Chains A and B, each alone.
Chain A
Amino acid sequence: MNLVTPDSGLLFWMIVIFGIVFFLLAKFGFPIITRSVDERSARIDKSLKDARDIEERMASWTQKEAKMREDARKGQALMLREAAEEKNRIIADARSAAKSEADKLLADARTSIAAEKESALRDVRREVALLGVEVAEKVLREELSGADAQRAYLEKMLDEAAKADTIK
């Protein structure tokens, strides 16, 4: 038995059969299997990557949302504060406007009252003066019926006038 001498018949059959089987499998067997599996692994890789991307995007969205909410809250607070300030300002303005109006009315009223009063007082004074003149006329007519009395009175009047001048 020669174990290390290749037998020609077996060599022939091995080359023929191995060749045929290899040809068939290389054409219809292995490429189909490996292509399908490669496609599948490519798809799995892509899906994993997509999932990771989506996760990242979700995380960034959540962050963005939180930030937006925070911004909105800040904006709201700011607006509320501004509105309150505006309100206060308007109220203060209105108040001051009303006050100044009232003051002006009051001042007008006061002036007109003062003017009225003045004119009323003037009238009264005139009336009183006229009445006084009439009364004095009547009294004088009564009293100055004599020449002495008239003279004395004249002198008295002159004194008084002089006195008034000096006072002035």
Chain B
Amino acid sequence: MMAALLISLLLMLAAPVASAQEDVPVSEIIFEHIGDDYEWHITEWKGRHVAIPLPVIVKSSTGWHVFSSARIRHGEEYEGLRIDPESGKIVDTATGKRPLDISITKNVLSLMFSSLLLLVIVLLTARWYRRHDSLEEAPTGLAAAMEPLVMMVHNMARENIGEEDYRRYSPYLCMAFLWILLNNFLGIIPFFPGGANLTGNIAITLVLALCTFFTVNLTGTKHYYKDIFAPDVPGFLKPIMPVIEVFSALMKPVSLTIRLFANMLAGHIMILCMVCVIFIMAKYGPLLGGGMTVVSVLFGVFLDALECLVAFIQAYVFTMLSSIYIGLARSHGE
């Protein structure tokens, strides 16, 4: 609820420039929020661009270049590099090609921040257990908050993977769940250091899905591989089944990638659209504009609440599917 109000507040600060005469550039606003950027745009204040410039780290044909993104913010060329206005990425001015680009972008900074936050939270929780005798005391504070989440995933791993070796996989599943959950929630918070659309970025979800993919396929049992390459099926199915099974194994990470990515992206876009409606309707006069403002704020609140739910559900679904896939790969047959 706060988030919706704050988004509208931020856009109100940003809007006057745009909405004064011309149409509201809805798609620009939306893509700026859900996309990546070389700077962290915070707001427009009295016509001035308020943003945190981030370091650009690029290896082009002329070697490594490290400089502040403020130097190329408005499309200027610097050290033979500029931001391509079409793709929004840094390109080599001479060749027009993409150099090796590991800049600390908005998403990378958010990634660092959220990972550090998760690290601190979990290590502090672990410290509580290290310093207290958990057999004698009930956890308090942070430990009490984190314990149900961690144990939920731990027990899910036990159920889906089996008593035998779930302990090996439980840390990865806990990590994936808490990391996705934290970033989903940080994505809903509309102001710095939240607001980056990290779990709605396909590179991030791809890495997560590949982690699950490699965990599943590098630690599978003989029985699992036999089921893929030599399943017990009637003779005429024998040549077809391996193809289907391999395809299905490859599709699992794809579905994991797309599910999380699309869900989070859609949520962000829906909320942003609701907020943009306010500025689109503003030029139709105070009555219509005011009326629609009330409606879209109500819808924004609803969508934000929905997103909180989705944030949890998607983290849970990703973790549950991962644990089920691992459980299937750890099966020893009947």
Contacts and interface: CB of A to CB of B under 8 A. Distances in A.
Interface of A: 1-15, 17-18, 20-22, 24-26, 28-34, 36-40, 43
Given A10-B107, A26-B171, A39-B135, A18 B115 contact: yes
A20 B123 CA distance: 14
B130 A30 contact: no
B126 A29 contact: yes
Nearest to B116: A21
Nearest to B125: A33
Interface string B172-202: 1011000100000000000000000000011
A33 B147 contact: yes
Interface string B243-272: 000000000000000000000010000000
B295 interface: no
A64 B276 CA distance: 81
Contacts of B13: none
A30 B172 CA distance: 9
Contact of B203 (A7, A17, A28): A7
Given A3-B265, A7-B203, A10-B36, A30 B175 contact: yes
B78 interface: no
B207 A21 contact: no
Nearest to A31: B171
Contacts of B207: 11, 14-15, 18
25 contacts: A1-B31, A3-B202, A3-B265, A4-B202, A5-B202, A6-B206, A7-B101, A7-B203, A8-B100, A8-B203, A10-B36, A10-B105, A10-B203, A11-B207, A14-B207, A20-B115, A25-B122, A25-B175, A29-B125, A30-B150, A30-B170, A30-B171, A33-B147, A34-B167, A40-B134
B134 A39 contact: yes
B212 interface: no
A46 to B, nearest CB: 11
A4 B257 CA distance: 11
Contacts, number: 129
B302 interface: no
B172 to A, nearest CB: 7
B31 A8 contact: no
B84 to A, nearest CB: 12
Interface residues of B, number: 50
Interface of B: 31, 34-36, 87-89, 100-105, 107-108, 111-112, 115, 118-119, 122-123, 125-126, 129-130, 134-135, 143, 146-147, 150-151, 154, 167, 170-172, 174-175, 179, 201-204, 206-208, 211, 265
Contact of A33 (B108, B112, B150): B150
Given A10-B201, A29-B123, A2 B87 contact: yes
B134 A37 contact: yes
Contacts of B107: 10
Contact of A30 (B88, B100, B102, B174): B174
A29 B154 CA distance: 13
Contact of A9 (B102, B134, B175, B265): B102
A24 B123 CA distance: 9
Nearest to A22: B175
B119 A34 contact: no
Contact of A21 (B31, B35, B175, B201): B175
A33 B129 contact: yes
- Smallest CB-CB A-B distances: 7 pairs: A6-B203, A26-B171, A36-B134, A29-B122, A36-B129, A10-B203, A30-B171
B202 A6 contact: yes
A18 B204 CA distance: 10
Contact of A28 (B102, B118, B123, B265): B123
Contacts of A25: 118-119, 122-123, 171, 174-175
Given A7-B203, A13-B108, A37-B129, 8 more contacts: A11-B203, A17-B112, A22-B172, A25-B175, A29-B123, A30-B174, A34-B154, A40-B135
